[in-house]
Chains A and B, each alone.
Chain A
């Protein structure tokens, strides 16, 4: 149920 978002959609590479 629902779409799993990715952590990289929220935090960018340093």
Chain B
């Protein structure tokens, strides 16, 4: 038996909108720790890891570990039927091939049940070790989204370089090239607008903008995004989900031929 009641149901709606472009089908894993997902895109270039901790739910019952395969477009279709202020409850019986999403209006005057068929998904689970990163950039998520969008009208790839001067996003294409530099900027009264750069050593990596743009669909979940870079590792683009967990996107770099 599984029963997870999320008062801020809009979080789940936003999570789905953030990942459904990248991943079509995925297993949601439910355990005593929380509700989680790990999935790669079809070309195995990017990986998304989601965690919604058990403590973040108003009610969290998960009698045994359960993995539920869902088509994310179908799940998004159902969650779009929930109001932004609705409480969402996810329910499943052991051994069942369906999951039920229950939507309750804040005044409790409307209750809806949407039952969705589960699917068998043979997915690979990767072990991601904790790493020390050469540079960690924290910046407003809306700013990062704007930069990725602007650069993708010029080129296909972005070079992200961190030096003590700041973080530079560069691209080039047929029509020309572009460089955007963001310097450290810690505004005490508006922490959500801060740009903070922690650099152990300078780092410069190249990534496909198509994926970066897809990651920025998570911007509505968090005012800030954290970008962790090391020369030998995929970049980690993390959006914290208010007191509940996170959504992390891992993207393998491009290298010179």
Give A contacts to B, CB under 8 Å. Answer: 1-14
Q: Report yes or no: B255 in contact with A10, Cβ–Cβ below 8 A.
A: no
Instruction: Out of B43, B125, B250, B254, name the residue touching A14 (CB < 8 Å).
Output: B125
B228 at the interface (CB under 8 A from A): no
Chain B, residues 198-226, CB within 8 Å of chain A (1/0): the string is 00000000101000000000000000000
B43 CB contacts on chain A under 8 angstroms: 6
- Knowing A1-B156, A4-B208, A6-B45, the reply to whether A11 touches B126 (Cβ < 8 A) is yes
Q: Give the 10 A-B CB pairs with smallest separation, nearest first.
A: A2-B254, A11-B126, A5-B252, A14-B127, A14-B125, A6-B44, A7-B252, A7-B47, A4-B254, A13-B124
B156 to chain A, nearest CB (A): 7
Interface residues on B, range: 20 to 34
Give B contacts to A, CB under 8 Å. Answer: 40, 43-47, 124-129, 156-157, 206, 208, 233-234, 250-257
Q: Report yes or no: A11 in contact with B128, Cβ–Cβ below 8 A.
A: yes
Q: Report yes or no: A2 in contact with B157, Cβ–Cβ below 8 A.
A: yes
B237 to chain A, nearest CB (A): 13
Q: Measured between alpha carbons, how far is A8 from B46 in the docked complex, in Å?
A: 9
B252 CB contacts on chain A under 8 angstroms: 4-7, 9-10
Q: Report yes or no: B46 in contact with A7, Cβ–Cβ below 8 A.
A: yes
Instruction: Out of B125, B129, B255, name the residue touching A5 (CB < 8 Å).
Output: B255
A11 to chain B, nearest CB (A): 4
Q: Report yes or no: B45 in contact with A3, Cβ–Cβ below 8 A.
A: no
Q: Report yes or no: A7 in contact with B157, Cβ–Cβ below 8 A.
A: no
B144 to chain A, nearest CB (A): 21
Q: Report yes or no: A7 in contact with B257, Cβ–Cβ below 8 A.
A: no
